[in-house]
Structure 1
Amino acid sequence: MSKIGIFFGTETGTTRLIAKKLYKILGSDIADKPVNVNRISPADLLQYDALILGTPSYGEGDIPGKGASGCFEPNWEEFLAMMGRPDMKGKRIAMFGLGAQERYSERFASSLMALYQVFAGLGAEMIGEWSTEGYTFQYSASAIGDQFVGLVIDQRTQGMHTEERLQAWVDQIKPALLEKVEATA
């Protein structure tokens, strides 16, 4: 049986921590261990039909990387440059992003939308929207109406909600991801 692939970019390690928590909730029987995108080739990600992708937020809603957002290590920006523009029709992707709603209220978790648009633009089926209820921010590019395009975690000011949000989101996305895994097994 194929599995769900979990990939993330990180700068301080928090996105890695969240990816590991998601893996623990899903379990090793249906998901592979999370991997940092700065340690893989595009073929490693593209082998999966069901994916969970995670990103920190840096800059003004930029895709995190050494260029526009000034990350110290390679991140999504460098990975996407290597990946090019593959056809991702047939892939089902859920995304999560990190942000700090008090510190960056005017651009809360906006990098999630930048990454979302890349994969949606390549033809992937995007799932995993998450309510904006319970968050306090001025603006987020990642919000469409009252929904984020993926799960948003504010570990800095709402860490007390992280476990509950992760579990609820996994309960929401797991059936659709498993359907994709089982269809390609």
Structure 2
Amino acid sequence: MSKIGIFFGTDTGSTRLVAKKIYSLLGDGLADKPKNINRTSAAELLGYDALILGTPSYGVGDLPGLSTGCMEANWAEFMPYLDGADLSGKRVALFGLGNQERYADRFASSMIHLYRLFYGYGADIVGQWGTEGYQFEHSHAIIDNHFVGLALDQRTQPHLTEERLKIWLAQITPQLLPVTAEAA
């Protein structure tokens, strides 16, 4: 069975910490150690059939990067390396961080850009997450009343992160690593 690749963009380190929690909860048997998107290659990311991708939210609903105020390269600088890639058959789950009080008008909106890009390259996106338990005005990352991935608020709801991760990972792991007929 191939492992899940965990890749993240970060600026303050919060997304990195969540990626490390995901890795810890999944364990080395199911996932490889998380990699910062600014320290990897397209070939390495494309080497996985199952991916968990994390993003902070910067700018006004933009893909995080230098142009949105990040101190280091982020998703905006990485995505051009995937131009024209065929991600058919790859399964992708997304998680995004945001602050639903300070940025209530665009909570965790950066996830929508990863969703659109990876979906546009042919990937199957799994792991949609309900909006219950959050208090915000708007998020671009909502389709059909669900976030396109797991939304986390490490500023105002850090006490809910661990439980949300456990529930979400239980939901997505079978979708990311389906049991083959030979293994059943």
When the two chains are superposed, the root-mean-square deviation of aligned CA atoms in Å is: 1.4
Q: Does 1:11 align with 2:18?
A: no
Query: CA offsets, 1:60-86, max 9 Å, x none?
Result: 11000112x121100001111222220
**1:177 offset after TM fit, Å?**
1.0
Corresponding residue number in structure 2 for 1:70: 69
CA distance in 2, matches of 1:39, 1:111: 20
**Residue 66 of structure 2: SS of its match in structure 1?**
coil
Corresponding residue number in structure 2 for 1:125: 124
The letter of the residue matching 1:51 is L
**1:130 offset after TM fit, Å?**
0.2
Corresponding residue number in structure 1 for 2:99: 100
TM-score (norm 2): 0.96
Q: Taking every aligned residue pair, what percent have the same amino acid on both sides?
A: 60
Query: CA offsets, 1:17-55, max 9 Å, x none?
Result: 000000011010110000001001100000000000000
Query: CA offsets, 1:82-107, max 9 Å, x none?
Result: 22220100100000000000000001
Q: Does 1:20 align with 2:20?
A: yes
Corresponding residue number in structure 2 for 1:172: 171
Structure 2 residue runs without a partner (length 5+)? none
Corresponding residue number in structure 1 for 2:56: 56
CA distance in 1, matches of 2:7, 2:143: 24
The letter of the residue matching 2:165 is L
Runs of 4+ off more than 3 Å:
none
The letter of the residue matching 2:173 is K
CA distance in 2, matches of 1:82, 1:125: 20
The letter of the residue matching 1:122 is Y
**1:143 offset after TM fit, Å?**
1.1
CA distance in 1, matches of 2:99, 2:114: 18
Q: Does 1:31 align with 2:31?
A: yes
Structure 1 residue runs without a partner (length 5+)? none
More helix by share: 1
The letter of the residue matching 1:12 is T
CA distance in 1, matches of 2:160, 2:110: 21
Count of residue correspondences? 182
TM-score (norm 1): 0.95
**Residue 178 of structure 2: SS of its match in structure 1?**
helix
State which drifts further: 80-89 or 120-129: 80-89
**Residue 156 of structure 2: SS of its match in structure 1?**
helix
Query: CA offsets, 1:135-178, max 9 Å, x none?
Result: 00000000123210000000100001000000000000011111
Contact 1:10 1:16 survives alignment (8 Å): yes
**1:11 offset after TM fit, Å?**
0.4
CA distance in 2, matches of 1:110, 1:116: 11
**1:115 offset after TM fit, Å?**
1.3
Contact 1:66 1:72 survives alignment (8 Å): yes
